Amino acid sequence: MAVRTIRLFGDPVLRTPAAPVDTYDKELRLLVRDLTDTMKDAPGAGLAAPQIGVSLRVFTWWVDDEIGHLINPILSLSEETQEGDEGCLSLPDLSFDTVRSQQVVARGMNMYGEPVEIEGSDLLARALQHETDHLDGVLFIDRLTPELRKEAMRTIRESEWFGEAAPEVRISPHTLSAKWL
């Protein structure tokens, strides 16, 4: 079990586009394991490698008791959208109604370098979009209406954890873990 520190908003790694994976080795499998352990410990419904300080295109999810991972994802999004509360493990105690596509088909690789395809709707679709955004340096607050984004930024500035040099914030237990990504 290797639980890593989750990087918080303000850490530049969260704003850096992550590099594609080109080597499917033991190190990559250890990264997937660490992501999975850290996600389960948080707990969260998803976690992307930049959130533990690794700028590679890898993420994990944990939705409806199913745990998975995806590498170098490419998403196809439905026109149909969903609304719902969304939060991020890198932005503790903050959640806002965020519009996302209702269905997603995600193509990429597993940790052995085999092509995989994941189809998801509802929370899984939301998680796949949220985590892929992380790989592009995009955070869910960027997807909010200007008004809600302003409110989010105000809440962030007032948060105890914001600007901490070495964040030691523990964000569990969540009352509702499902929305934390």
Closest CB 44 distance from Zn ion, rounded Å: 8
Closest CB 131 distance from Zn ion, rounded Å: 7
Q: Which of 131, 151, 158, 160 is catalytic?
A: 131
Of residues 45 and 109, the one with the C-beta less far from Zn ion: 45
Query: According to the binding rule CB under 5 A, does residue 70 interact with Zn ion?
Result: no
Of residues 171 and 181, the one with the C-beta less far from Zn ion: 181
CA angle, 170 then 67 then 76, to 5°: 105
Please state the φ and ψ torsions of residue 85, each to the nearest 5 degrees. Answer: -70, 135
Query: According to the binding rule CB under 5 A, does residue 181 interact with Zn ion?
Result: yes
Report the residue closest to Zn ion, judged by CB: 88
Instruction: Give, as ranges, the residues between 80 and 119 that touch Zn ion (CB under 5 A).
Output: 88
Residue with tokens 């969903």: 82
Of residues 3 and 25, the one with the C-beta less far from Zn ion: 3
Asked whether 72 and 57 are in contact (CB, 8 A), the reply is yes
Q: Count residues binding Zn ion (CB under 5 A).
A: 2
Instruction: Give, as ranges, the residues between 132 and 161 that touch Zn ion (CB under 5 A).
Output: none
Of residues 46 and 108, the one with the C-beta less far from Zn ion: 46
CA distance 73 to 129: 10
CA distance 87 to 113: 30
147 catalytic per annotation:
no
Closest CB 4 distance from Zn ion, rounded Å: 15
Closest CB 47 distance from Zn ion, rounded Å: 7
Query: According to the binding rule CB under 5 A, does residue 6 interact with Zn ion?
Result: no
Residues that bind Zn ion (CB under 5 A): 88, 181
Catalytic residues: 131
